Amino acid sequence: MKCPYCGAEMEAGVIQSPHELAWNDKKYFAARAQLHKGSIVLSELSMLKGSAIIAHCCRKCEKIVIDYQNGICDINRKNKF
Ligand SMILES: [Zn+2]
C-alpha cells in the first residue's frame, strides 16, 4: 500500500487487542460496537485469538492506515476462509 500522504511504500503490520477493535465517534465507557449506532467493527472479539487487524505504517509521516473494506483488515475473519 502506498502512503496517501507521501506516496512511499507503507510497512504492513498488525494491531492487536484482547478486546473487540472498533471505531466509534467518541470514547464510551462500554465500547462494544453493538451498543453504538454507527460503530465500525474492525475485528470481532475472539476469546481464543483476541482481536487483530492488518494496518499499514509510514514511519516518515507517522501515519497508520487501516483498510476495512469488506472486513479485509480482520485477521480472524480472513482465517475463517
Ligand atoms: Zn508517508
State residue 31's pLDDT score.
65
State residue 52's pLDDT score.
94
Contact by Cβ (8 Å): 8, 60 = yes
Centre of ligand 1 from the C-alpha of residue 8, in Å: 6
State residue 78's pLDDT score.
63
State residue 37's pLDDT score.
83
Q: How confident is the chain (81 residues) per 10-residue block, as mean pLDDT?
A: 97 94 86 78 87 96 96 78 42
Centre of ligand 1 from the C-alpha of residue 5, in Å: 5
- Taken in order 7, 9, 11, 14, the sign of the CA dihedral is positive
Centre of ligand 1 from the C-alpha of residue 53, in Å: 20
Centre of ligand 1 from the C-alpha of residue 30, in Å: 33
State residue 81's pLDDT score.
42
| Predicted structure pTM score | 0.82
Task: Quote the CA–CA distance of 65 and 35 in Å, as a whole number.
Answer: 25
State residue 10's pLDDT score.
98
Centre of ligand 1 from the C-alpha of residue 64, in Å: 9
